[in-house]
Amino acid sequence: MKPGTTSAACVALLRRDLALTWRRRGDALNPLLFAVIVVALFPFALGPEAQVLERIAAGTIFVAVLLAALLSLDSLFRSDLDDGSLEQLVLSPHPLSLLLACKIAIHWLTTALPLIAIAPLLAMLLHLPDSVLPVLLAALALATPLLSLIGAICVALTVALRRSGMLLTLLVLPLIVPVLIFGAGACNAAQAGLPYAAPLLWLGAWLVLALVLAPLATAAALKISLT
C-alpha cells in the first residue's frame, strides 16, 4: 500500500481550493468592495481637495487593503473546520506545514492579489501621484503575503472559537504594525522624493523569513487548537 506523495497531496489541495474559490466567486468580491468603500469614505470625511487626499493616499490605501485582507482572513480555515476537512488535513501523513502553506498561498492569490489589482483604482480616487504608484504596488505585493502568513498563525490559534472576529483583529494588529510602518513608509518616502529601497528590502527580508517560519508556526498553532 502506498500513501501517495506529498507533492500529489499539495497539488490536490491547490486544485480543490481553487475549484472551491471558483464556486464561491461571489464571496471573493467582498474584500474588494470593502476596500473601495473604505477608501471612498475618506474624501467625504476630509473634503475633496486634491492636496489633502494626495498626502494621505498611500497610507489610506495601505490601511484599507490590510483591513480588507484581515476581514477575509477568518475564512482561511473556517469552512475546512466546519466540514471536518481540517481534521483530515491534520491526519494526513504529509507535513502539515506544507499543506497549510498551499492553503495560505491560495488564500493570498484569491483575496490579496485582486486587492493589489484594484490598488491603481484606489490610488486614482485619492490622487496618488503616478510616480508613487509602482512603489505602492511593490510595497503591497510584499506586505499582503506577510499579512496572510502572519495572519494564518493567528487564525490557527483562534480557529476553534465560534466568534473569533474581534479577538483575531487584536492578535493580528500588534504583529502587523511593522509591516504597515515599512510599507506605507516606503510610499511616503517615494512621495517625498526620498530613497525608498531600504524599507522595501526590509519587507522582502521579512517575507522570506515568514515564508519559511510562518507555515511551521501555523501548523504548530493548529495542532494546539485542535488537540
Q: For residue 27, give every residue at least 6 positions away whose Cβ sits within 8 Å of its Cβ, in sequence order, or none.
A: 75
Residue in 24, 37, 201, 212 binding another protein, rule: CB under 8 A: 24
Residue 127 within binding range of another protein, rule CB under 8 A: no
In this structure, are residues 114 and 32 in contact, taking their beta carbons and an 8 Å threshold?
yes
Q: Closest Cα partner for 148 from 57, 80, 211, 59?
A: 211
Grid coordinates of 13: 489541495
CA 166 centroid distance within chain: 17
Residues 116, 77: Cα–Cα separation, whole Å:
22
**CA distances in angstroms from 179 to 10, 30, 204, listed in the order given:** 29, 23, 10
Query: Is residue 211 a contact residue for another protein (CB under 8 A)?
Result: no
Q: Contact, 80 vs 152, CB < 8 A?
A: no
Q: Quote the least distance from Cβ 221 to another protein, whole Å.
A: 6
Give least dist CB 124 to another protein, A. Answer: 26
Burial code (b: 16+ CB inside 10 Å, e: under 16) for 83-101 equals eeebeebeeeebebbbbbb
Q: By C-beta, is 20 or 36 nearer to another protein?
A: 20
Binding mask 129-168 for another protein (x = CB under 8 A): ------------------------xx--xx-xx--x--x-
Q: CB neighbours of 224 closer than 8 A, spacing ≥ 6?
A: 157
Instruction: State yes or no: residue 19 binds another protein (CB under 8 A).
Output: yes
Query: Is 30 a residue that touches another protein (CB under 8 A)?
Result: no
For another protein (CB under 8 A), the number of binding residues is 58
- Among 34, 108, 182, 196, interactor with another protein by CB under 8 A: 182
Considering the rule CB under 8 A, would residue 83 count as an interface residue with another protein?
A: yes
25 or 37, CB closer to another protein?
25
Does position 82 interact with another protein (CB under 8 A)? The reply is yes
**Interface contacts to another protein, rule CB under 8 A:** 1-4, 8-9, 11-13, 15-16, 19-20, 23-24, 79, 82-85, 87-94, 153-154, 157-158, 160-161, 164, 167, 170-171, 173-175, 177-178, 181-182, 185, 188-189, 199, 206, 217, 220-221, 223-227
